Amino acid sequence: MSVVAINTQVDAHVEEVHEHHEEQNFWRKYVFSEDHKTIAKQYMITGIFWAIIGIAMSVVFRLQLGFPGINLSWLKPVLGRWITETGTLDPNFYLALVTMHGTIMVFFVLTAGLSGTFSNFLIPLQIGARDMASGFLNMLGFWFFAVSGVIMFWSLFLHTGPAAGGWVIYPPLSALPQAHIGSEMGMTLWLASMALFIISSLLGGINYITTVINLRTRGMTFSRLPLTIWAFFITAVLGLISFPVLFSAALLLIFDRHFGTSFYLSEIYINGEALPNMGGSPILFQHLFWFLGHPEVYIVLLPALGMTSEIIATNARKPIFGYRAMIASLLGIAFLAFIVWAHHMFVTGMNPFLGSIFMFLTLIIAVPSAVKAFNYITTLWRGNIIFTPAMLFSIGLVSLFVSGGVTGIILGNSALDIQLHDTYFVVAHFHIVMGAASAFGFFAGIYHWFPKMFGRMMNDTLGQIHFWATFIGVYLIFYPMHYIGIAGFPRRYYQFTNFDFAKSYTDLNMFVSIAAIFTFAAQFIFLWNFFYSMFKGRTATLNPWRSNTLEWTTPLVPGHGNWPGEIPAVYRWPYDYSKPGAAEDFIPQTVPYSQTPESNLPHETALIAEEEELGEINLNDQFRTAH
């Protein structure tokens, strides 16, 4: 039959191709790799590197805030002239620290580090693809990120210091070098770095979207995709639409800084000089920035939520509750994410009518978010829960998401935001709901997929200790911060001693700082575990978590092309855990319904007829082998 003839031709062709396949050199294999798994690890290591720097910065400024007047001379070897003769932290550098902490954590750690690692690693493996749609663009994406990181890192060592206008870099402060030393070369490099970073994000995002749409294996319909993939896919769409707007905001700022334009500047007198700029508006920048800025927080959060769905279902041995509702809520959150940005701008002086509109839209977004939280909890109900470190972090994520989310509802109410805007109440809110929750997603993902990345197991006991120390630590840091915010303490203050209303809570600030130091220290348990296990961890089994998704059907450490032979077909959704009648408490996606008559639901029995045809289709795997 013609089918057989074609197959032999294909086989012969494959043999030829194999003979010409040379071993890649070191640079192509490990540095400029186009393999999504290697690129994922590059993002992961880079993300961890930046996380250490970003969190260390926060410890330094928490020392300043918790222990006013503390002698920081011991930091002079590292911070040089930023520690004065008397051992105090330079107020200019304090602002640089909080700015860089925000920039590094939001963009480098939680966007590139989180999405870059897990979208890259998991998308081809979980949808059943050999690699990303374009390995070349993927490689470029990482290297744009690496270069942007080098530039940002360089800016830390400038004589005038890095950017220091807050991570939001509002003009005119960020547009005028004479307004702050951080707005000199530090700001220029920040903008250059972010321009490259945005390009990197866009390259990655385009790849993720294309791959998910085009390269799913046979039988992997959208309604059989793991929620992780849904989350990564929607996150990539969010990024694709919103990052270019930040790019334009940054570009206009570059023009104002260097080419005499007045997009954001008007009627400014500074340092004895009345500037000629007229007609611009700082509010324009804020609109453009937050048009990215708000979707950005969902770009940070959604991948973590997606991974949590997977990890909770696997470790509770139950399907994720409400799969369709979870998808609908992801779509709802993504859509609404684009139309709530000005809740960051209630007291900027914009038309109050806008305030009403954005309050209304912002409070709506709480609804799909709540649905997700309830679904996670119902997934735990009547489960048989296994507390792997990944599971602990996933449960912790749900707790943080809800705890931080409810204060978002307070802040989204414009009347209440008048008092709370730019106070520590906001700081507490976003650290819990975005910072900590996504960091927990990052940890959960590493603990869960470490065996697939390295073929070894991390140590469970150390992971559990790491979790409890971090979980308790995070709550001890940020829960009290709400009180500090309610008392009116403003953000980005070097010290609080200039105001009577901010003279209280010295003990509380000290407590927060101690908790921060403690939590930072606890991360070294993870670092030890992570690097040690990479080389000396006990060898993993093929499917250590007894999970249903496709990545566990590859060899222990998958090579190029992921599956050595044909990519498996998919016959069912990924959540058949503890199915009544089934032999085991999990049924991988690759098991046809024809093989599980004892547990099939009626509508599934009807699908058996189609399964044979499924075997014949082959749109994405023409050689039926990795090569």
Q: How far is the CB of 159 from another protein (least distance, A)?
A: 16
Report whether 392 contacts 407 (CB < 8 A): no
Which of 19/85 has CB closer to another protein? 85
Minimum distance from residue 500 beta carbon to another protein (Å): 6
Q: How far is the CB of 414 from another protein (least distance, A)?
A: 5
Cα-atom radius of gyration of the chain, to the nearest Å? 26
Q: How far apart are the first and last CA of the chain?
A: 27
In the complex, the smallest distance separating the C-beta of residue 558 from another protein, rounded to whole angstroms, is 22
The rounded distance, in Å, linking the Cα atoms of 450 and 456 is 7
Residue with Cβ nearer another protein (38 or 277): 277
CB of 548 to another protein, least distance (A): 13
Instruction: Name residue, tokens 């993993």.
Output: 540
Closest among 208, 169, 206 to 186, alpha carbons compared: 169
Q: Which residue, 167 or 623, is less far from another protein as judged by CB? A: 167
Cα–Cα distance measured from residue 165 to residue 86, given in angstroms and rounded to the nearest whole number: 25
Cβ closest to another protein, residue 189 vs residue 320: 320
Q: Is 146 or 517 the residue whose CB approaches another protein more closely?
A: 517
**SS3 assignment, position 441:** helix
From the CB of 474, what's the least distance to another protein, in Å? 12
Closer CB to another protein, residue 331 or residue 510?
510
Output the smallest distance, CB 178 to another protein, in A.
9
222 vs 468 by CB, closer to another protein: 468
Q: In whole angstroms, how close is the CB of 49 to another protein at the nearest point?
A: 23
Q: Is 604 exposed, middle or buried (0-12, 13-18, 19+ CB in 10 A)?
A: middle
Using CB atoms within 10 Å of the CB of residue 6, give its burial: 0 to 12 exposed, 13 to 18 middle, 19+ buried: exposed
Burial 230-260 (b: 16+ CB within 10 A, else e): bbbbbbbbbbbbbbebbbebbebbbebbeee
Nearer to another protein, 165 or 219 (CB): 165
Residues 6+ apart with CB under 8 A from 312: 320, 376, 379, 380, 391, 394, 395, 398
Judged by beta carbon, residue 244 or residue 322, the one nearer another protein is 322
SS3 state of residue 538: coil
Please, which residue, 118 or 471, has the CB nearer to another protein? 471
DSSP string computed for 291-347 = HHHHHHHHHHHHHHHHHHHHHHHHHHTSPPTTHHHHHHHHHHHHHHHTT-GGGG-TT
Min separation Cβ 445 and another protein, Å: 17
- Residue 498 beta carbon to another protein: minimum distance, rounded to whole angstroms: 5
* 8 Å CB contact between 93 and 155: no
